[in-house]
Structure 1
Amino acid sequence: MGRGDLTDAEWERLWPFLPVSNGRCGRWRDHRQVIDGILHRVRTGVQWRNLPERFGPWKTVYERHRMWSADGTWTRLLQLVQAAADAAAEVDWDISVDSTVVRAHQHVAGARRTAAGVRAKGGRSSRTSGRNAVAKSARPPGGGGAGGEGLGRSRGGFTSKLHLSADGRCRPLSLVVTPGQRADCTQLQTVLAKIRVPRIGPGRPRTKPDSIAADKGYSNGPCREYLRRRGIQHSIPEKADSQAARLRKGSRGGRPPGFDEERYKKRNTVERAINRLKQSRAVATRYDKRGYVFLGTTTAAALVIWLRT
């Protein structure tokens, strides 16, 4: 076993949830060897072609990761591991929400568009090959920006933004990738909608946290109204300009929003979860052209965090 590979205990937790067949060509190649290769790339950021030979053909490792990113297998594995932890009462449902900017490598630009079959502005057209048709048909829509791949332009170049929620033990619950200039408050509903922890046995998946802590980036009317409508307690500080506008109106400005300072102190859990995610170099810097593949990369990194805590 190499450094960073799955231990026997981690493998025992993961293998019952793995798909047995790829649906087209019979059984998969050894899952453990391929997953270790994927996690090696996620951890080190090495180019796929430069994967060590002990992981097998690099093309097999890459195609497995690309397909599992497209059909949602990484997301399902993360949810099933979360479900096992929730059944053992190991999930702290006082969650926190935040985002982090990820610098995109210069080679990320130029991904072909899925629908039109052409590159982003200035590129050449290309037909979709039959080998990739299955994965591309299951591919989730892009996040906007350059080519719809969750890329945004800034003075520093291409950037993406990773929005996430984390439980009270610094483990990611849900992940969303958008262009780097996208405001945090616009993605709160999307991030919370992606929290879906299945039950072990009968019952609907759990989607509602006990409480939420977030910074001033989420302090606006639509976010607070959404949380009140769902009956979710929240600790979000009021912006200075919003407070001043409310005070100017006097009694017509209404009461100040509720704010629990002690609960807000736990918001650092999402910052620590981001720090854990960015220990993986393929998350700290985006090397994936496709937005759905980068989301799969971050989900695989989150899965490792759950397996190892």
Structure 2
Amino acid sequence: MSRHLFWLSDEAGLAIEPHLPHGKAGKPRVDDRTVISGILHVLKTGCRWRDVPAAYGPPTTIYNRYNRWSQRRIWQRLFEKVAASGPVPKELSIDSSHVKAHRSAAGSKRGSMKKRSVAHGAAGRARSTAWPTIAADRSPSP
């Protein structure tokens, strides 16, 4: 199974390390390179966060770090700094073929739009026949 895991190269890890936030005092953090490899694995394969292989660390750690860094715009700053420093390593390049869209992202559900009859105009009433005219024709004559 380990042959199918994605690992950030040493070169790429050293390039982004100065731009990552430093840990706080307390419980030792899971290595950033390992967690980033896990995040890229999720983005590349489209698997659920809880299905991340254990080699990358706890799934909650991987998801929380991704989410917190997204909220703090660390990913944005990281990609800007790496892009400004020269060509982006292939391991860090993510395009639309790597990120899976949720099935509801494709558009609205089929048949969810209310279909209108051709006979209905903008006011929503039938234009083909006037009911009062027909009713008047069928009424008994005095």
TM-score (norm 2): 0.58
Equivalences, count: 97
Gaps of 5+ in 2: 104-142
Equivalent of 1:4 in 3, 6, 29: 6
Residues 15 and 55 of structure 1, relative CA distance in 2, 3 Å threshold:
same
Which AA in structure 2 matches 1:66? N
Question: Relative to 1, partners in 2 of residues 1:286 and 1:69: Cα closer, same or farther, differing over 3 Å?
Answer: farther
Matched, 1:33 2:34: yes
In structure 2, the CA distance between the partners of 1:29 and 1:6, relative to structure 1 (3 Å rule), is same
Which consecutive residues of structure 1, in runs of 5 or more, have no partner in the other structure? Answer: 92-272, 288-309
Q: Distance in 2 between matches of 1:35 and 1:11?
A: 9
- What is the identity percentage for the equivalent residue pairs of Structure 1 and Structure 2? 33
Question: How far did 1:21 drift?
Answer: 2.0
Give the Cα separation in 2 of the matches to 1:47 and 1:60. Answer: 14
Supply the AA of the counterpart residue of 1:51: V
State the shift of 1:80 in Å: 0.9
Distance 1:26 1:82, change over 3 A: farther
Tell me the residue number matched to 2:74: 73
Deviation at 1:285, TM superposition (A): 1.1
Over residues 140-181 of structure 1, what are the superposed CA-to-partner deviations in whole Å (9 max), with x where a residue is unaligned?
xxxxxxxxxxxxxxxxxxxxxxxxxxxxxxxxxxxxxxxxxx
Question: What one-letter code is carried by the residue in structure 2 that aligns with 1:284?
Answer: K
Deviations 1:54-82 (A, max 9, x none): 01111111100010011101011011102
1:173-192 matches, within 5 Å, as none
- Equivalent in the alignment of 2:48: 47
More strand by share: 1
1:125-164 correspondence to structure 2 within 5 Å: none
Greater C-alpha radius of gyration: 2
Quote the residue 1:21 is aligned against. Answer: 23
| AA of the residue aligned to 1:11 | G
Superposition RMSD in Å: 2.7
Deviation at 1:26, TM superposition (A): 6.6
Q: CA deviation at 1:40?
A: 0.5
